[in-house]
Structure 1
Amino acid sequence: MKAMVINKYGENAVFEAQEVNKPTPKQGHVLIKIAASSVNTVDTMIRKTGKDLPLSPDTPAILGMDFAGTIEEVGEGVEGFAVGDEVYGCAGGLADLPGTLAEYMAADHRLIAHKPKNLSMREAAALPLVGITAYEGLIRANIQKGQKVLVHGGSGGVGHVALQLAKYFGAEVYSTGGGEKQLQLIEKLGATPINYKTEAVEAYVEKYTDGAGFDIVYDSVGAGNLINSFNATALNGHVATTVTLCELDLSIAHFKGLSLHVVFMLIPMLHNIYREQHGEILKSMAQIIEAGHLTPVLDEQHFSLEEAGAAHARLESGKAMGKVVIEN
């Protein structure tokens, strides 16, 4: 089969088209013909950082984690899936799991679910990693109907899904953005937009919560922005975040009694534990999508498998609005 392969990591790493062996599904796995895959920040980190990142696969490496496609073969011990089923998931591209930038991949059936019927392959491929991340963070923060939820970075990959899911769960949702297009998208998705460049944390906390703070803050920006999240959260509130690779003074969190939930959704793939939870989340998301409560936002530019490098560059440019997707 054809695959886009990284033979050497680094800032100038390139994808090379190569013929590689088509995988065979072992027990508990299915063979999937890939229709589309999406690019996530972690993919670009692996390409540039290589083995200095503990989760990077050995070279030659087939990257790519998210996909949508059709099952062509079912391994022993697989239940609930059959040849011809359209599925989506996040199931490779790290450690010893070959990725999605190829014509086929063998995936653990616990990491996948049937594709939402009302989404195209391209749309479905955009959702697994960011969707599972958003869903997990909100559930761990014990989201409840009627709560006030703030999403930092509501026009981004994780943020635009967290925003919609929080609304689906019955919360009153607010979200920060830094430009007119971002703020327009946030409002279109059903949240109250907040321009973090012109509105101070204290100002919008006072304006929207009478100074009490938000019940949950989902921070998809992370790092230094976590201090803003702590300041925006109500006493005994919850902060969920995807980016904590930093040193931080937790004094504010201590004196406010905050619960901090760090979401690292790659753990099931890396450590082969709780994988069935990802399949269940994807199944739940498909139901939410089919009921009309969640829509992925895709970047306007289209990329083919051979243009994997350009797709990575598009995401890294910061100019993409929505998920960057590669189509086979």
Structure 2
Amino acid sequence: MKAWVYGEYGSVDVLKFQSNVSVPHVNEDQVLVKVVAAALNPVDFKRRQGKFSATDSTLPTVPGYDVAGVVVKVGSKVKDFKVGDEVYGDINEKALEGPKQFGSLAEYTAVEEKLLAPKPQNLDFAEAASLPLAIETAYEGLEKTGFSPGKSILVLNGSGGVGSLVIQLAKQVFGASRVAATSSTRNLELLKSLGADLAIDYTKENFEDLPEKFDVVYDAIGQCEKAVKAIKEGGIVVALTGAVTPPGFRFVVTSDGAVLRKLNPYLESGKVKPILDPKGPFTFPQLVEAFSYIETNRAIGKVVIHPIP
């Protein structure tokens, strides 16, 4: 099969396009997915840079966590999916501990049934591929804070892949009383369109100096030290990256198809929408360009690779 592969850790230059990679073996609890679209996440480039080398799978690696595609083969113990089903998911149950050697940036990927869900019927493959890791991170992070109806939240980097979904889930699924979010000037209107009651321009205001404080700060950018200054007494900060300052805590997602199934009705009703960066989707041959772009940290929503190949 055709796939992108790297045999050493490093910059985008280590990524090589190959057309003779073996199709991955399918275990009894797995399905083989013909990949139609995949998305990039910060974990993809941090992994490629060798930041998780101690717990990584062996090299060479086909990168990619997020997938949307069609089931072409099922293992003997698979119950919920059959050949021809359209599915989506994050193929790595643990983001950093032993992720798959053969990821989603290839024609085919093998993935455990429990990590997948039926693709929402109203979304195309590119939209579906943009969601799994980010929406699971958004949902599970909110759950870990004990977020519940009537609480207020501040989302740092509200225009990013995770942040754009935290805003929507906090409002539509968890019943937030008030949602604030930060972005640069150009993305303030996007924040409001996603449901933010207060859009904060971080180029002009320091969120930690505002008089208003919040029950939860969802830190998707790595500013925990400032974030803890923006919470109410008894409040909490969930941090995805960077150093952690108490009462903040580090959160790393565990992939679970059940979360996607739970959220499918919100996606199919249009209450929660995928946000794709307007520069994309990038084609399969443009993968290096797509990685270079996501590594600028300027992407809006998600960077998607489609079609594959």
Same fold (TM over 0.5): yes
Does the 8 Å CA contact 1:37/1:101 hold for their aligned counterparts?
yes
> Shift in Å at residue 202 of structure 1?
5.0
1:140 aligns with 2:138: no
Aligned to 2:230: 232
The one of 207, 221, 245 equivalent to 1:201 is: 207
Q: Following superposition of structure 1 onto structure 2, how do residues 1-328 of structure 1 map, counting pairs within 5 Å?
A: 1-11=1-11, 12-49=13-50, 53-92=53-92, 95=98, 97=100, 98-168=102-172, 169-171=174-176, 172-177=178-183, 179-191=184-196, 192-204=198-210, 206=211, 209=212, 213-222=213-222, 225-244=223-242, 246=243, 250=245, 253=246, 258=247, 260-265=248-253, 268=254, 278-300=256-278, 301-327=280-306, 328=308
Between the aligned partners of 2:62 and 2:115, the Cα distance in structure 1 is: 18
Q: RMSD between aligned alpha carbons?
A: 1.8
- Identity over the aligned pairs, expressed in percent? 37
| Larger helix percent | 1
After superposition, the Cα gap between the structure-2 partners of 1:55 and 1:306, relative to the gap in structure 1 and judged at 3 Å, is farther
Residue-by-residue CA offset, 1:229-248 (whole Å, 9 max, x unaligned): 1110111112111114x3x6
Distance 1:3 1:201 in 2: 43
- 2:238·2:249 contact (CA, 8 Å) conserved in 1? yes
Structure 1 unaligned residues grouped into runs of 5+: 269-274
| Cα pair distance change 1:202/1:316, threshold 3 Å | closer
CA deviations 1:123-155 (Å, max 9, x no partner) are 010111111111011011111112111111100
User: Residues of 2 paired with 1:195 and 1:181: CA distance?
Assistant: 9
Paired with 1:309 and 1:202, the residues of 2 have a C-alpha distance of 37
The aligned length equals 298
Specify the SS of the correspondent of 2:218. strand
Q: Is contact 1:157–1:323 with CA below 8 Å preserved after alignment? A: yes
Opposite residue 266 of structure 2, the aligned amino acid is: I
CA deviations 1:70-126 (Å, max 9, x no partner) are 111111111111111111011149736110111111101111111111111000101
Task: Give the 4+ runs in structure 1 shifted more than 4 A.
Answer: none
